[in-house]
Amino acid sequence: MSVRSLTGAQHISGTWRAHSGVGSFQRFMTRPYDVAIIGGGLAGNLLARQLSREVPDARVLLVEKTGEPRWKVGESTVEIAAHYLLRRQGLGTYLYDRHLPKNGLRFFFDTPEKDAPLTRMSEVGTDRPPPTPSFQLDRARFEADLREMNAAAGVDVRVGWTARELDLGEGGGVHRFTIRGPESEEAVEARWVVDCTGRASMIARQKDLRVDVEDHALSAVWGRFTGVQDIDQAG
């Protein structure tokens, strides 16, 4: 459901535009925005926040199809990302209060025989916080909190809504699409549309812009574990 109430008539640009209903499903008339952001993950939320801070009069829409918290790769920030979050986004107090400082990387080196237990390996790492801060983020919490901040700042945040029927304007024209929620549907017009849908790549798929890279022979493994012994207490 939307963070902001959408019951009854809607006030748009100084005029009242009522909706008509068919059964329990409501269809609203067109709502205009300066920027419509499709995808309410980290990228979409941070863009919405930056726009609300730097262009406070802009009408910004943020559409996220699910509000379900889920673990994601990317909880560990590098220093340049932390600089952006602290300086451009003004999130310093929030990050130190709700997340963990990151003390940098730790490297463990095995013996030539590759048989040393972890406690006997040599190690390179930091023994104190680095001079340039970075953070270990709880992504699910971070994104949920950003959505609340954005709604409080005046961004029209729609959680549980999906975007469809995207009609991109040509030559600087207005972009149009439809958003659909649990009980209603609205037509949207926007001067700018930003695709922050990640791997779904809504606009790239529609415009056939996706490029398959077959020679990128790299892979990574990521996971979360419970019951793991603290390395520093292992011996």
Question: In CATH, what number is assigned to the domain containing residue 9?
Answer: 3.50.50.60
Of 114, 137, 160, the position where a domain reaches its end is: 137
Of 87, 117, 137, the position where a domain reaches its end is: 137
Q: How far is 180 from 71, CA to CA, in rounded Å?
A: 25
- Whether residues 127 and 182 share a domain: the answer is no
196: number of Cβ within 10 Å: 21
Strand partners, 122: 109
Cβ–Cβ < 8 Å for 110, 121: yes
pLDDT classification of 225: cutoffs 50, 70, 90: confident
- Whether residues 46 and 155 share a domain: the answer is yes
pLDDT classification of 23: cutoffs 50, 70, 90: very low
Of 100, 116, 137, the position where a domain reaches its end is: 137
- Whether residues 183 and 219 share a domain: the answer is yes
Orientation angle between helical segments 139-152 and 42-54, nearest 10 degrees: 30
In a domain, 14, yes or no: yes
- Whether residues 56 and 152 share a domain: the answer is yes
pLDDT at position 213 is: 80
* Number of domains comprising the chain: 2
Could you read off the pLDDT of 166-200 as tens digits, one per residue? Answer: 999 998 899 999 999 988 999 999 999 999 999 89
- Whether residues 229 and 163 share a domain: the answer is yes
- Whether residues 62 and 158 share a domain: the answer is yes
Q: How far is 160 from 87, CA to CA, in rounded Å?
A: 31
Could you read off the pLDDT of 28-61 as tens digits, one per residue? Answer: 567 799 999 999 999 999 999 999 999 999 999 9
- Whether residues 106 and 207 share a domain: the answer is no
DSSP state of 174: P
- Whether residues 102 and 161 share a domain: the answer is no
- Whether residues 59 and 43 share a domain: the answer is yes
In a domain, 230, yes or no: yes
Comparing 104-108, 118-122, 199-203, 210-214, the range with the smallest average pLDDT is 210-214
Top pLDDT among 141 and 67 is at: 141
**49: containing domain:** 1-68+147-235
In a domain, 167, yes or no: yes
In a domain, 81, yes or no: yes
In a domain, 142, yes or no: no
What percent of the chain lies above the pLDDT cut of 70?
87
Top pLDDT among 22 and 53 is at: 53
Give the pair of three-digit tokens for residue 182. Answer: 């649990």
CA distance to 108, 147, 207, per residue, from 116 (Å): 10, 47, 53
Comparing 70-79, 104-113, 151-160, the range with the smallest average pLDDT is 70-79
Q: How many CA atoms lie within 13 A of 19 on its CB side?
A: 23
Top pLDDT among 13 and 54 is at: 54
In a domain, 6, yes or no: yes
- Whether residues 151 and 228 share a domain: the answer is yes
pLDDT classification of 100: cutoffs 50, 70, 90: very high
Tell whether the model's pLDDT for residue 216 goes beyond 50.
Answer: yes
